[in-house]
């Protein structure tokens, strides 16, 4: 029984944490997006929060074919109806089509059927935004396969999804100009509170930590977000396709449903201190579309270059996490 070793944060780590409270204004907005005519984009968790705003901004200002990958059919179809109305109102674009593919990222058996369904509809894939996520759910929440729910959903679910989409994504990238094909991994500045090296290998689910309190909760969420940052950096090292940009972001500190498991008092305070969710969409779309973003970058609110915590950046750390992710997802490929 022991606690994870959390490295002491450097001054620049703390500056980054503070930046989320006082972020820079977004400069990469709709007027700078490429047309994306004939291109295909997937946004996971696009039915609410940042994903919803990302889909809306893309749908209103580009010609991309957009797919929301999410778990709740009724909620997502209602969200698509709302998106259509808002896209017409805000961008004067009528009857914008938005696709839906059902997937539960916390159940590894649901991911292959979702990709098969997508492949029946499309024969190309240009941009993937791994946006869906869970934060600090009740202690002991598990994925279908028994992983702690945040690592199960945020990390393993997206790892398997990306693996299964790799063939179509890579094939498309070979015909695209350099830098158009992109993968965006939603990390968080909370990765600063992750265990050294990202994952607490001796107890990944934090089941044996002596006391589970707010600090360990933050570390457990941070662990999943550190792994997302590592996935972004490692994808390109494991796949030698130079046209692709794989990068991570912290979208900012935004008022969304992510805080759904917080107390009523916390949520009351958050609405006054967190930023509007549209701002976080600009961070996502900066990573997905801006010519300033390079492979392996990490960007923060609302389109500012930054750096991940130092101990997470080595190839050795990336290899260890990647090997584990591949091993755990092998049975579902
Ligand atoms: N908001 C912030 O301040 C902030 C800061 C840093 C990073 N982030 C990251 O940004 C991303 C988006 O968060 P958000 O703030 O927009 O949160 P949100 O409003 O709670 O949206 C999360 C989305 O993920 C989906 N999702 C959760 N579990 C899923 C599963 N098992 N399968 C499929 N979809 C699932 C949710 O679907 P349902 O609607 O069905 O629940 C929802 O669409 C997350 O990765 C989060 O970690 C957010």
Catalytically annotated residue among 39, 56, 225, 277:
225
Catalytically annotated residue among 187, 188, 248, 301:
187
Residues in the chain: 333
CB atoms within 10 A of CB 159: 26
Nearest atom within ligand 1 for CA of residue 189:
6
Any catalytic annotation for residue 225? Answer: yes
Any catalytic annotation for residue 286? Answer: no
Nearest atom within ligand 1 for CA of residue 106:
31
* All structural domains of the chain with their residue ranges: 11-332
Q: What pLDDT, on a 0 to 100 scale, did the predictor assign at position 190?
A: 96
Residue of 45, 159, 217 with the most ligand 1 atoms within 8 Å of its CB, for mutation: 45
Nearest atom within ligand 1 for CA of residue 48:
43
Question: How far is it, in rounded angstroms, from Cα 116 to Cα 160?
Answer: 13
Question: How far is it, in rounded angstroms, from Cα 160 to Cα 171?
Answer: 18
- pTM of the full structure: 0.98
**Regions of the chain where pLDDT drops below 50:** none
Q: How is residue 218 written in tokens?
A: 């933050």
Q: Is 20 in the pocket of ligand 1 (CB under 6 A)?
A: no
Q: How is residue 118 written in tokens?
A: 């997508």
Any catalytic annotation for residue 221? Answer: yes
Q: Report how far ligand 1's centroid is from the alpha carbon of 257 (Å).
A: 7
User: Residue-wise over 267-304: b if at least 16 C-beta within 10 A, else e?
Assistant: eeebeeebbebbbbbbbbbbbbbbeebebbbbbbbbbb
Q: Is 35 in the pocket of ligand 1 (CB under 6 A)?
A: no
Question: How far is it, in rounded angstroms, from Cα 218 to Cα 216?
Answer: 5
Q: Is 257 in the pocket of ligand 1 (CB under 6 A)?
A: yes
Q: What pLDDT, on a 0 to 100 scale, did the predictor assign at position 288?
A: 98
Q: Is 147 in the pocket of ligand 1 (CB under 6 A)?
A: no
Q: What pLDDT, on a 0 to 100 scale, did the predictor assign at position 211?
A: 84
User: Which residues 6+ apart lie within 8 Å of 283 measured at CB?
Assistant: 26, 249, 250, 251, 252, 299, 300, 301, 302, 303
Cα–Cα distances in Å, from 23 out to 185, 236, 287? Answer: 20, 29, 16
Question: How far is it, in rounded angstroms, from Cα 7 to Cα 194?
Answer: 8
Q: 1-48: per-residue pLDDT in tens?
A: 688 999 999 999 999 999 999 999 999 999 999 999 999 999 999 999
For ligand 1, atom 26: residue with the closest CA: 132
Is 11-332 a domain of CATH 3.60.21.10? Answer: no
Q: Is 53 in the pocket of ligand 1 (CB under 6 A)?
A: no
Q: What pLDDT, on a 0 to 100 scale, did the predictor assign at position 1?
A: 67
Q: Is 254 in the pocket of ligand 1 (CB under 6 A)?
A: yes
């Amino acid at each position: 029984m022991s606690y994870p070793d959390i490295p002491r944060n450097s001054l620049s780590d703390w500056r980054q944490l503070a930046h989320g409270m006082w972020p820079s204004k977004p400069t990469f907005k709709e007027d700078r997006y490429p047309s994306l005519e004939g291109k295909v984009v997937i946004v996971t968790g696009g039915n609410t929060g940042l994903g919803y705003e990302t889909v809306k901004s893309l749908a209103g200002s580009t010609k991309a074919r957009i797919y929301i990958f999410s778990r709740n059919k009724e909620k997502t179809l209602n969200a698509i109806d709302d998106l259509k109305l808002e896209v017409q109102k805000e961008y004067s674009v009528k009857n914008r089509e938005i696709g839906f593919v059902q997937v539960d990222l916390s159940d590894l058996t649901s991911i292959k059927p979702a990709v098969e369904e997508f492949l029946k509809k499309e024969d190309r894939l240009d941009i993937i935004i791994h946006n869906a996520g869970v934060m600090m759910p009740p202690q002991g929440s598990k994925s279908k396969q028994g992983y702690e729910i945040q690592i199960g959903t945020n990390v393993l679910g997206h790892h398997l999804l990306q693996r299964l989409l790799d063939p179509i994504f890579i094939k498309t990238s070979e015909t695209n100009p350099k830098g158009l094909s992109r993968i965006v991994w939603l990390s968080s500045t909370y990765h600063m509170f992750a265990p050294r090296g990202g994952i607490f290998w001796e107890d990944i689910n934090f089941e044996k930590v002596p006391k589970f309190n707010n600090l360990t909760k933050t570390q457990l969420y941070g662990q999943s977000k550190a792994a997302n940052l590592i996935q972004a950096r490692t994808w390109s090292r494991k796949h030698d396709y130079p046209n692709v940009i794989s990068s991570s972001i912290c979208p900012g500190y935004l008022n969304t449903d992510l805080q759904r498991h917080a107390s009523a008092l916390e949520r009351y305070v958050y609405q006054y201190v967190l930023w509007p969710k549209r701002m976080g969409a600009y961070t996502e779309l900066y990573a997905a579309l801006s010519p300033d973003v390079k492979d392996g970058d990490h960007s923060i609110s609302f389109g500012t270059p930054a750096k991940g915590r130092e101990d997470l950046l080595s190839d050795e750390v990336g290899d260890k996490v990647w090997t584990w992710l591949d091993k755990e997802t092998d049975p579902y490929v």
